[in-house]
Amino acid sequence: MRTGEIRALSGLRIVAALWVVLFHFRPLLEQASPPWSDALAPVLDAGAQGVDLFFILSGFVLTWNYLDRMGESWSTRSTLRFLWLRLARVWPVYLVTMHLAAAWIVFTLYVGDFPSPAAEDLTAISWIRQVLLVQLWFEPFFDGSSWDGPAWSISAEWLAYLLFGALVLVVFRIAAATRARGLLVLAVLASLPPTLFLLASGVFYTPWSWLPRIVMQFIAGALACAAVRKLHVSDRSRQTAGVAALLLGGVIIGGLYLLDGVPPELIYDAGGLVDVLFVPLVVALALGAGTLPAALSTRTMVYLGHISFSLYMVHEIVHTAWNWVAAQYEITLSPSWGAKLVFVGLIALSGLLAAALYHLVEEPARHWMRRMLDSGPKQADRPAEPPQSRLHPVEARAG
């Protein structure tokens, strides 16, 4: 049984989270340092794709931990336990940031001259849908579906979690009948529908486009994990995979600059085309050793990966609050060291709040909710739960 943490993928989580964070903070960077904004624009403008990377990681990590435990046969008890443990992972921070966002909206109604236009969304029905993690299921677009903007992706993730009990049964049987190479091909093919819709419409954000993004990217991650589990690689192969991961990272970044410099005529959101490389990247990092896997596996990067969910959930509140302060006090940033310090300070503040949420809310609440299961009268009769990967999914993403 293969379970536990793949450290390089933990480190990848903070990369994906920061990609989304910087995507949202682009206007501030443009004000603070136009040269840096212009230089990084091809990468930062595609930051919404970090959500797709999170979806793939979710499918991969959950399959890594639960394929053997839940894949062989259906168990209602195991499925309900799995869903509760997923709630324990995402719900506490999600609920705290949801209500922080609501409190900020109410604050703007009574203080200052710029009430939040989101106040009209503060309704009981909206609250119920968000608490139950189903708000996105009623909307063709994710804009405005959640008081805390990035929370839309958690609603999408919850749908994937509810489907996982059935999906893992299918993946288990596909894996039993398919070689690793075939599983890798299936994983790449499963990740393609959002890209095909992009090629068809020219834009990534179309009605209900969030649905194939979460479902197919999640399935792609699950199939990629099934392939990795079947492989028994040598040290030399791990080094090769590590080089491949480094090359894929370079191709993704280089591809974004190429697509920006020579944009396809009919595709506005051309940066979304790099999604096709996310499955190979995740597989290479999961298997690889060497420069990039080692860098992502350092203690610092793994810790940042652990707090990445909290960062993802809190950063847009910081961003929204700054926009209000700037409007209220007529603050206009112009290129200067002071403006650069404001930009860096807001990112740092988001990180500090994320660390606080992780240590004061996310981890204590997760252990508390887990103890609700472990204190049951039939605890001795249950098979041991596999160690939970710290790669709780985004959880991502944003856009």
* Domain map (residue ranges) of the chain: 7-263+271-373
CB of 284 within 8 A of CB of 248?
yes
Burial class, 52, CB count within 10 angstroms (exposed 0-12 / middle 13-18 / buried 19+): buried
Listed in sequence order, the DSSP H helices in 262-357 are 278-287, 291-296, 299-306, 308-328, 337-357
Tokens of 336: 């200067």
Mean pLDDT of the chain: 92
Residue 165 has pLDDT above 90, yes or no: yes
Least confident range from 106-115, 156-165, 229-238, 253-262: namely: 229-238
Average pLDDT over residues 340-367: 97
Residue 393 confidence (pLDDT) above 60: no
Those residues whose C-beta lies under 8 Å from the C-beta of residue 7, and which sit 6 or more positions away, are 296, 297, 302
Q: What would the pLDDT profile of 16-74 be if each residue is shown by its tens digit?
A: 999 999 999 999 999 999 999 999 999 999 999 999 999 999 999 999 999 999 999 99
End-to-end, the C-alpha distance of the chain in Å comes to 36
What is the CB neighbour count within 10 angstroms for residue 42?
A: 19
- Work out the burial of residue 127: count CB atoms within 10 Å of its CB; fewer than 13 is exposed, 13-18 middle, 19 or more buried: middle
Instruction: Return the percentage of the chain with pLDDT > 90, whole number.
Output: 89
120 closest CA partner among 108, 134, 131, 137: 108
> pTM of the full predicted structure?
0.92
Q: What are the tokens at 298? A: 């350092």
Q: Are 137 and 112 in contact (CB under 8 A)?
A: no
Q: Using CA atoms, how far apart are residues 51 and 312, in angstroms rounded to an integer?
A: 10
Is it the case that residue 3 has pLDDT exceeding 70?
A: no
Alpha carbon of 8 to those of 50, 115, 243, 282: distances in Å?
16, 43, 14, 9
The two structure tokens encoding residue 80: 């309900």
pLDDT greater than 80 at residue 115: yes
Write phi, then psi, for 386 (nearest 5 degrees).
-65, 150
Residue 380 has pLDDT above 60, yes or no: no
376 falls in which pLDDT band (50, 70, 90)? Answer: low
pLDDT at 141: 95
Count of H helices and E strands in the chain?
Answer: 17, 0
- SS3 for 68-103, per residue? HHHCCCCCHHHHHHHHHHHHHHHHHHHHHHHHHHHH
Lookup result for tokens 């979710």: 58
Q: What does the DSSP assignment read for 179-236?
A: -HHHHHHHHHHHT-HHHHHHHHHS-S--TTTHHHHHHHHHHHHHHHHHHHHH----HH
